[in-house]
Chain A
Amino acid sequence: MTDQITIHTEGLTKHYGDVHALVDLDLAVHAGEVLGFLGPNGAGKTTTIRTIMDEIRPTAGRASILGMDTHDKSVEIRRYVGYVPDDLAMYPNLTGRDTLTYFANLRGGVDWSYVDELADRLDADLSKKVGDLSSGNRQKVGLIQAFMNRPDVLLMDEPSSGLDPLVQREFQTMMRDVAAEGRTVFLSSHALSEVQRVADRVGIIRNGHLIALEAVDSLRSKAIRRVDLYFDTHVDESVFEGVPGVREVTGENHHVVLSFDGQMETLLNVATGRYTLVDISTQEADLEEIFLAYYRDVEVTL
């Protein structure tokens, strides 16, 4: 990741009549970065990407890619952008190779040996008509299409839908390779595990508002964990109330369950100071919990 900003939005807003699909989005994505864009259905992920792609025009604000305004310079920009739209559709009459040729002719700069390499990595069959492919195999053609001219910026909206786990893994490696080469990936998804694996930073969007934008590592470190403490005797749960980082506590006999997002040392000091701690288990923090926590806790004012 470098300091160079490749995707930049300022106050990007899109209203459909009374529906505020996207509100005041300020976002800067850097070269060499994979940005995961998370949110439930209808949160505004697709609206964001379609606005950046100039498919739809913002009600207010602006977006730029590589310093070029996405509307004024939309044609120039698309030389440097690879795109996988949400719910990808292609031309059923064309074979995969015909489809790629069509787009390659429009785009220029496509290295066919690289296309073959991508097809090989994703195990894609380019000789069949797109209409005869299963949705996962069709998706592979769409991915190759986005990667094939080694774009500086990849915008992908739910790109791994329909892919089997092995191919998903390969696709994630491809995204990391892109970032390693100093290029940018903007990945919209609700496959949390995938974002967790490939993204450097995560943006979380809800009801059109960006409610969090943080590095995956720091997000994980402030994750709420579930901590199970087992003692040799009954311990009243009130002991843990007031310990920094404890959010919720329930107890039953020798067993205390905590929702915890503080320093483990503080907690252990309390737990081992007066009692005998027999066993402890903490559930690993993952984005899913963070994600749910954000949606449960963060109040968004519209």
Chain B
Amino acid sequence: MLANVFTKTTRDRWKGIAIGMATMAVLFLFGMSVYRDIDISVYTELPEALLSMMNIPKDADVGSLAYGAIYTSYGALTLAALVLVIGAGTIAGEERNGTLGLLLANPKSRTNVLLSKAGSMVLLTGLGALVLWGAGRITPVILDVNVSGIDVEALVFHIFVNALFYGFLAMAIGAWTGNRGLASGVTAGVMVLSFVAVGLLPLVESLENAAKAFPWYYFSGSEPLQNGISWGHLAVLVIGSVLFTVAAVIGFNRRDLRGQTSGVSIVDRLRATPMTQRVADQLAGSARVARIWTKTASEYQGLLFVTAALMFFVMGVLIGPMYNAIDNALLDLSDHFPEALLALFGGSDMSTPEGWYQVETFGMMAPIAVMVVTVIIGARALAGEEQHRTMGLLLANPVNRSTVLLQKAFAMVLYAFVVGFATFAGVAVGSLLGGLDMNIGNIAATSLLVTLVGLVFGALALTLSAATGRVPIATYGAVGVALVMLILNAFLPLNDNLTGYAKWSPFYYYLTSDPLTNGMHWGHGALLTGLVVALIASAVVLFQRRDLRQTR
């Protein structure tokens, strides 16, 4: 282990983990205090299958509700996402920055460097878990909530091991390919898919065992909060992590280091082939560089493709037929399930096709999918050019700063609408395949609203990047605000005294009007649009008046 590599990596990376987990701690305090003040007896009457899907235990009390709702889903996902970003950057990040060659010019082996960085990743994950554990122990004391019989340590330990699994997977892909984007993209895909699958598959009796094929099952399947640590399940994750580490060491040692280049895409290969050269030249060359927005759009086509495909096939088409496979009696809760409670899962009554789609597709996944695209473009399109020192050259052309910004914003808006349309098309096809007979206009309305709410946070990222020129501030700022707003909108309505404050969250204007059943709420749509326009306008003003950054 190289102490200085270990220390430097830790120093570079601790802030993200600390901020993310501190946010979780605050949300946990908030969630638990809400649960403490409401009547939670309704939960005990819910069907078991549904409870397990929502990560809520049988015989739930205030404590287990709070841990289940905040830690088991949001907490575990957030920590795993932060760690996978670290894992992906371990080798591939330094390679992309062009600093890896310099680091390896020292008399230290590649294996040693890799393992030192892996060690730092483990330490950081541990620190994150420690924050969760501390908050999980202190909060009940502050709020005077009885948490006896709940195994917080086991849950946090599961969260820790689970996060590392994705960290090591991303590290292995990054070390093997040197491509940071690929590493984080694939790993995030695996994580989200397996999270969704583990929530969904147990609802269908014949598919119950299929969940075991997904790694997330070995995190939550044993219900560590009630049952304590499941060493067998954790062993699966640990063995996986060890295998990934071995793969990382082998892959990293056997290949050439990459320069600062981005690799060869499919279009590049087509361009090199005489037969396809002309068309590919159009695609990759002249068409791509025709305008600022076309070039911006072309840079994020991979991201768009993956996100839109996921929304169309998995969250759209697949969900429809699945509705029929599930015993609807399980989901018929309209009598004893207060709407406000379901709001936590973006939900309404799941026994109707609309309610089903709202919980599964539109509640969490659709806004996240749109936001992934808009926030990444919003944060990188502008500040990324400053970070990569190309902004000066771009602005040496006779174009306004506002033109540059608006063209980049246009690419973001365009892509948000593509994701929204893919969601719409997927749900429409899914409804058709499942014979659910949902109203097409209402699906379109909901898809439009999710596009707009996603754009609010993309525009926020754009504004932050216009104001600061820094990608991390724009990304983490927008993601942080979005996460807080998402959870506030879910929790505030649970308490009658606080429900009015939910109107301060943009998400309130997305599903509160129940567009999937009631159709478009133009007032809400106009409000979200106004917010997007205002944010982009402020981005223009902020970008016009400041000095460009000079990064080295």
Are A131 and B259 in touch, CB under 8 angstroms?
Answer: yes
Are B547 and A93 in touch, CB under 8 angstroms?
Answer: no
Q: Which of A50, A95, A145 contacts B548 (CB 8 A)?
A: A50
User: B268 to chain A: which residues have CB within 8 Å?
Assistant: 129
Q: Which of B299, B397, B547 contacts A103 (CB 8 A)?
A: B397
Expressed in whole angstroms, the Cα–Cα distance for A94 and B399 within the complex equals: 20
Are B393 and A93 in touch, CB under 8 angstroms?
Answer: no
Q: Name the distance in Å between B30's Cβ and chain A's nearest Cβ.
A: 39
- If the complex has contacts A102-B289, A105-B291, are A90 and B393 also in contact, measured as CB distance less than 8 A? yes
Cβ of B260 under 8 Å from chain A: yes
Expressed in whole angstroms, the Cα–Cα distance for A117 and B286 within the complex equals: 20
User: B398 to chain A: which residues have CB within 8 Å?
Assistant: 75-79, 106-108
Quick check: which of B231-239, B384-392, B453-461 contacts chain A, the rest being far away? B384-392
- Among B261, B389, B394, B397, which residue has the most Cβ atoms of chain A within 10 A? B397
Are B261 and A75 in touch, CB under 8 angstroms?
Answer: no
- Among B260, B295, B392, B396, which residue has the most Cβ atoms of chain A within 10 A? B396
- Per-position binary interface string of chain A over residues 45-72, scored 1 when its CB falls under 8 Å from any chain B CB and 0 otherwise: 0100010011111000000000000000
Cβ of A285 under 8 Å from chain B: no
Expressed in whole angstroms, the Cα–Cα distance for A90 and B295 within the complex equals: 13
Are B289 and A94 in touch, CB under 8 angstroms?
Answer: yes
Are A132 and B261 in touch, CB under 8 angstroms?
Answer: yes
List CB contacts (< 8 Å) of B392-406 with chain A: 392-400
Q: How many of chain B's residues touch chain A, expressed as a range? A: 20 to 34
Cβ of B550 under 8 Å from chain A: yes
Expressed in whole angstroms, the Cα–Cα distance for A81 and B260 within the complex equals: 29
Cβ of A264 under 8 Å from chain B: no
User: B289 to chain A: which residues have CB within 8 Å?
Assistant: 94, 98-99, 101-102, 105
Cβ of B275 under 8 Å from chain A: no
User: B108 to chain A: which residues have CB within 8 Å?
Assistant: none
Cβ of A270 under 8 Å from chain B: no
User: A102 to chain B: which residues have CB within 8 Å?
Assistant: 289, 295
User: B285 to chain A: which residues have CB within 8 Å?
Assistant: 95, 97-98, 101
User: B288 to chain A: which residues have CB within 8 Å?
Assistant: 94, 98
Are A53 and B261 in touch, CB under 8 angstroms?
Answer: no
List CB contacts (< 8 Å) of A237-268 with chain B: none
User: B389 to chain A: which residues have CB within 8 Å?
Assistant: 85, 87-89
- Number of A residues near B (Cβ < 8 Å) is 40
Q: Name the distance in Å between B274's Cβ and chain A's nearest Cβ.
A: 14
Are A92 and B262 in touch, CB under 8 angstroms?
Answer: yes
Q: Smallest CB-CB separation from B547: which chain A residue? A: A56
User: A89 to chain B: which residues have CB within 8 Å?
Assistant: 388-390, 393
**How many A-B contacts if CB must be within 8 Å?**
93
- If the complex has contacts A94-B289, A101-B289, are A83 and B396 also in contact, measured as CB distance less than 8 A? yes
- If the complex has contacts A97-B285, A102-B295, are A107 and B397 also in contact, measured as CB distance less than 8 A? yes
Q: Which of B388, B390, B399 contacts A75 (CB 8 A)?
A: B399
Expressed in whole angstroms, the Cα–Cα distance for A166 and B240 within the complex equals: 56
Expressed in whole angstroms, the Cα–Cα distance for A83 and B398 within the complex equals: 12
- If the complex has contacts A79-B398, A89-B388, are A131 and B548 also in contact, measured as CB distance less than 8 A? no
Expressed in whole angstroms, the Cα–Cα distance for A103 and B393 within the complex equals: 9
Cβ of A275 under 8 Å from chain B: no
Are A56 and B260 in touch, CB under 8 angstroms?
Answer: no
- If the complex has contacts A55-B547, A106-B292, are A85 and B399 also in contact, measured as CB distance less than 8 A? no
Q: Name the distance in Å between A157's Cβ and chain B's nearest Cβ.
A: 9
Q: Name the distance in Å between A191's Cβ and chain B's nearest Cβ.
A: 20
Cβ of B254 under 8 Å from chain A: no
User: A131 to chain B: which residues have CB within 8 Å?
Assistant: 259-262
Are A92 and B400 in touch, CB under 8 angstroms?
Answer: no
Cβ of A91 under 8 Å from chain B: yes
List CB contacts (< 8 Å) of A202-261 with chain B: none
Are A105 and B550 in touch, CB under 8 angstroms?
Answer: no
Q: Smallest CB-CB separation from B386: which chain A residue? A: A55
Q: Name the distance in Å between B402's Cβ and chain A's nearest Cβ.
A: 10
- If the complex has contacts A75-B400, A97-B285, A131-B259, are A85 and B547 also in contact, measured as CB distance less than 8 A? no
Are B548 and A56 in touch, CB under 8 angstroms?
Answer: yes
User: A57 to chain B: which residues have CB within 8 Å?
Assistant: 545, 547
Q: Smallest CB-CB separation from A107: which chain B residue? A: B397
- Per-position binary interface string of chain B over residues 407-431, scored 1 when its CB falls under 8 Å from any chain A CB and 0 otherwise: 0000000000000000000000000
22 contacts across the A-B interface (CB closer than 8 A): A50-B548, A55-B391, A75-B399, A78-B396, A79-B398, A82-B396, A85-B393, A87-B389, A89-B388, A89-B390, A91-B295, A93-B299, A94-B288, A98-B288, A99-B289, A101-B286, A103-B393, A105-B291, A106-B394, A131-B260, A132-B261, A145-B393
Interface residues of A (CB under 8 A from B): 46, 50, 53-57, 75-79, 81-83, 85, 87-95, 97-99, 101-103, 105-108, 129, 131-132, 142, 145
Known: A46-B550, A98-B288. 15 other contacts (CB 8 A): A53-B395, A56-B547, A56-B548, A57-B545, A57-B547, A75-B399, A76-B398, A77-B398, A78-B395, A90-B393, A92-B260, A94-B288, A102-B295, A107-B397, A108-B398
